[in-house]
Structure 1
């Protein structure tokens, strides 16, 4: 028996607030200038917001206004002081990243990215992180639509799943830590969380069998940036696979898609999901390695954890014929110029079939992979 745990956070968690502000600024810039180079970080503590980073763009954006509006949308209505420190991206980077007549667009940074897929859920995601993200989303919905007088914006949840022989067997433990108003009766908010939130995510049997812990310290009244500082990019495991699979270390939010930390990770997920959807493996992990200024990755590695119908090397050979890993082609194929990145800055960037992002729409690629596999198989039998 094995137990795997994943965590998610609500939209009002300080780190997630910073991710959302950074990605909302990115969206505002890209709306005016698709070719912009953006690397924006946000930090928050108490009533102070600090926006900093590097931006090269023709767009005119009021960063303070964007931040204040996003804070209000999340649920923080109190006044905030906003300081910004934005400079232009180094021209040294542009030499290798920008495309010219003699130079193809290169990767916007060096680094490694991972993508993962498995057949545990319909989204081909690990079950613990999918459940945790769904609980976070339903908690936010319940607060905004019905219970803003009971719950504050901050909170997090955690789901532990028991596995037997590599397959999820049951939900073992559910933890929900939700910020509440000071006068709220504990039995009231526990009843809401169990009977109005968890029932939208899990069936009655799963809820009955699970150990459910709600605000296990006893109280959670002081929350948001007054309880904890926040910073862009500090919830990268929440953003991906919940610790179930590897992570290359690079954050997503606030970065334009020339940064392969973002676009490369999306593409690695795209490839991994296509491999599983094509029934070439039950699990698939894709690792990519990029060098700044160079278009093609220096390494592509596929691991199916001994679940593949053929060897990992053979699957990698099929993948190399179907997928194009150059940043300029990733941008086109995944329609990255059309994405609203602030929508991804909560409840995860992977498994988001609800947002219709292209890296989750793999049916065509899966069919191409399967067809190529069948053709290769027939050819080998003939020989």
Structure 2
């Protein structure tokens, strides 16, 4: 039996956090392959990318494997990287978009991996999964977006601060920032913020923690629901004091190191695989999107207030090895639901890519502020956030 009254905490990091800079660059490379491929008439189903980025003081290293248009070469990737760093906002002595040394070490994808993934190879007649692994999806009724409240509001705080910084409204703030919200639950529902942590880089070295709090508090108040902040709420704003040196100059960044920030803030399991820098044959990414989509539709259908979905795959094998659903005590036929989920959606890598129309340059926008709980975009971005299966699921379990 789940506890009714408790505290739960989740964190988020801004697009200027060192690891998120790397996630953004890796996903920009994936987008570049799809964008250039469309212009050059290359079949998008054949494009592959597994791009990893490291960033430190005025240095970016991009490595991994690919199969795609030759126009996305070292010069193009270098330019893409500089544009991403500039858009994030880094023009500092220790990390500057124009001055950073960029090294591109991408090489063609292994033929051994390709033979298991590509369709019509001797080993398989349909596209296989790009790797083995387990993927989880989760949804709950804590927010209108069917996300856990702590991670949702941690993201929202940083998005508002980033918008204010980039618009020029808050020019003293820097790109690097972290937030953390501790939420009090009563009778299983989120009702208040008991602790708020906000650490943000500031470009004026004379700002104190109190000065920074005066800047950021209105945005935090706006981000959280009315009544969640009270005189009892404890604040920790730049608790170490000065935060001028930020981003990769202050701390080395790596792709894929913020997987809990990317998903549910620890409120649900994570399969362990990172998302950014990977094309959708990598089920680490695409099947995690599918699991979220199915869980969200289960909750949207009213079948349960919370739902966890697990999918598992083997490299080179098209169909999932298992489908597991946890309705967290809801009165519904879970075994029937698991059967229905496998029937209502083709959960092979090709089926997922087709269902969500994933062969597009839609990935850089996912690199910060979470891959879930976002509005679907008109061009197909965040298509896994739709709830268009809810009615079918409701009918199937009636």
The TM tier, using the shorter chain, reads over 0.9
CA distance in 1 between counterparts of 2:320 and 2:391 reads: 24
CA distance in 2 between counterparts of 1:316 and 1:158 reads: 35
Give a deviation string over 1:137-162, Cα, whole Å, max 9, x none: 11111111124531111110001111
CA distance in 2 between counterparts of 1:290 and 1:354 reads: 26
Q: Which sections of structure 1, spanning at least 5 residues, go unmatched?
A: 375-383
CA distance in 2 between counterparts of 1:193 and 1:204 reads: 17
Tell me what 1:350 maps to. 372
What is the Cα deviation at residue 186 of structure 1? 4.2
CA distance in 2 between counterparts of 1:108 and 1:205 reads: 47
Say if 2:10 is the partner of 1:2: no
Give a deviation string over 1:329-366, Cα, whole Å, max 9, x none: 1001011123510000010001111645211111x201
Tell me what 2:258 maps to. 235
One of 291, 315, 318 as aligned partner of 1:295: 318
Tell me what 1:154 maps to. 176
Instruction: Check conservation: 1:37, 1:57, Cα contact below 8 A.
Output: yes
What is the Cα deviation at residue 69 of structure 1? 1.0
Q: Which sections of structure 2, spanning at least 5 residues, go unmatched?
A: 38-43
One of 148, 158, 164 as aligned partner of 1:126: 148
Tell me what 2:304 maps to. 281
- The equivalences for 1:271-350 within 5 A come to 271-307=294-330, 309-350=331-372
Q: Secondary structure at the match of 1:206?
A: coil
Instruction: Check conservation: 2:48, 2:109, Cα contact below 8 A.
Output: yes
Give a deviation string over 1:65-93, Cα, whole Å, max 9, x none: 11111101101122100111111111011
CA distance in 2 between counterparts of 1:70 and 1:190 reads: 28
Instruction: Check conservation: 1:18, 1:230, Cα contact below 8 A.
Output: yes
CA distance in 2 between counterparts of 1:170 and 1:129 reads: 14
What is the Cα deviation at residue 7 of structure 1? 0.5
Q: Secondary structure at the match of 1:149?
A: coil
What is the Cα deviation at residue 59 of structure 1? 3.7
Q: Secondary structure at the match of 1:289?
A: strand
Tell me what 1:378 maps to. none
One of 188, 191, 194 as aligned partner of 1:172: 194
Tell me what 1:20 maps to. 24
CA distance in 2 between counterparts of 1:147 and 1:189 reads: 14
One of 113, 138, 147 as aligned partner of 1:93: 113
Say if 2:60 is the partner of 1:49: yes
CA distance in 2 between counterparts of 1:293 and 1:161 reads: 42
What is the Cα deviation at residue 260 of structure 1? 0.3
Which piece of structure 1 moves more, 202-211 or 45-54? 202-211
CA distance in 1 between counterparts of 2:186 and 2:343 reads: 36
What is the Cα deviation at residue 314 of structure 1? 2.4
Instruction: Check conservation: 1:7, 1:157, Cα contact below 8 A.
Output: yes
4+ residue stretches of structure 1 with deviation over 6 A? none
Give a deviation string over 1:17-60, Cα, whole Å, max 9, x none: 00000000110111122231100000011011000001111241
CA distance in 2 between counterparts of 1:57 and 1:97 reads: 15
Superposition TM-score, scaled by structure 1 size:
0.93
- The equivalences for 1:43-122 within 5 A come to 43-61=54-72, 62-77=76-91, 78=96, 79-100=99-120, 103-122=125-144
CA distance in 2 between counterparts of 1:257 and 1:144 reads: 31
Q: Secondary structure at the match of 1:64?
A: helix
